[in-house]
Amino acid sequence: MDLDSLKSSWRNFSISDEKIDAETREATRRIARGKVETSQQRLVAFYQKASIFALCVTALSPNLYYILGCPVWVSVIYGLYGIVMAIVDFWFSEKIRKCNLLSMPVVTALSVIINLRKLQKQLRALGMVLGFPVVGIIIGYAWYLSISDVLPGMFAGAIVGAIIGIRKWRQARKLSKSMQEEIREALRE
């Protein structure tokens, strides 16, 4: 076999570099989209669990009346806060779930995720704006009644609750950020 026939055979056998690069980029996009879907599903599950937890808060509201002796209106406000947050968290989880990121162009998907992250921050602010007065009313009422046995537990609960809340917020933010970063990786290609 001479050198020319070997070159000719090699040319006929080899696959173009552009085709390999194109297939590699497409495989990378599919992998990245699969990761985004997984992050999306985890974020949906996170907010569904949060809505269930908010309903548990509502279920605890009668204890404010029966155990602490708070007026009915304080228990009702506490219960309403839990219901509102359950609805908000469930609505947000459904909004995330309904985003079909796999069918969107990469730039559109990135825009959708950025808007979801903005909404996530706004909903957190809403929860805090509604939650702090409710907790303040309960603590203030216990202070007014001089229920000294309950106050240390309330303050300890507020501190532990704040720590748990911050950790959960960071977890949710990390999930939404991972969705955004995975889409950005696909955009860089």
Q: What is the pLDDT of residues 131-180, one digit of tens each?
A: 889 888 888 887 777 766 777 877 888 888 888 888 888 888 888 888 88
* C-beta of residue 97 within 8 angstroms of C-beta of residue 91: no
Question: How many domains does the chain contain in total?
Answer: 1
User: What's the pLDDT band for 24 if we cut at 50, 70, 90?
Assistant: low
Name the band, by pLDDT with cuts 50, 70 and 90, for residue 109: confident
Higher-pLDDT residue of 181 and 88 is 88
In a domain? residue 9: no
On whether residue 155 sits in a domain, the answer given is yes
Is residue 83 a part of any domain in this protein? yes
Higher-confidence residue: 126 or 157? 126
Average pLDDT, the chain: 82
Write down the pLDDT at residue 181. Answer: 82
Please check whether residue 7 lies inside any domain of the structure: no
Percent of the chain exceeding pLDDT 90 equals: 28
CA-to-CA distance for 166 and 149, rounded, in angstroms? 27
Q: How confident is the model at residue 23 (pLDDT cuts 50, 70, 90)?
A: low
Tell me the pLDDT band of 86, cut-offs 50, 70 and 90: very high
How high is the pLDDT of residue 87?
96
* Within a domain: 27: yes
Tell me if 29 is assigned to some domain. yes
**Tell me, what DSSP letter sits at residue 104?**
S
- Give the residue among 78, 172, 167, 85 at the shortest CA–CA distance from 127: 85
Instruction: Confirm whether 14 is domain-assigned.
Output: no
Sequence-distant (≥ 6) Cβ neighbours of residue 74 within 8 angstroms: 64, 65, 137, 138, 141
Domain span at residue 85 reads 19-188
Q: Please report which confidence band the pLDDT of residue 12 belongs to, taking 50, 70 and 90 as the band edges.
A: low
In a domain, 10, yes or no: no
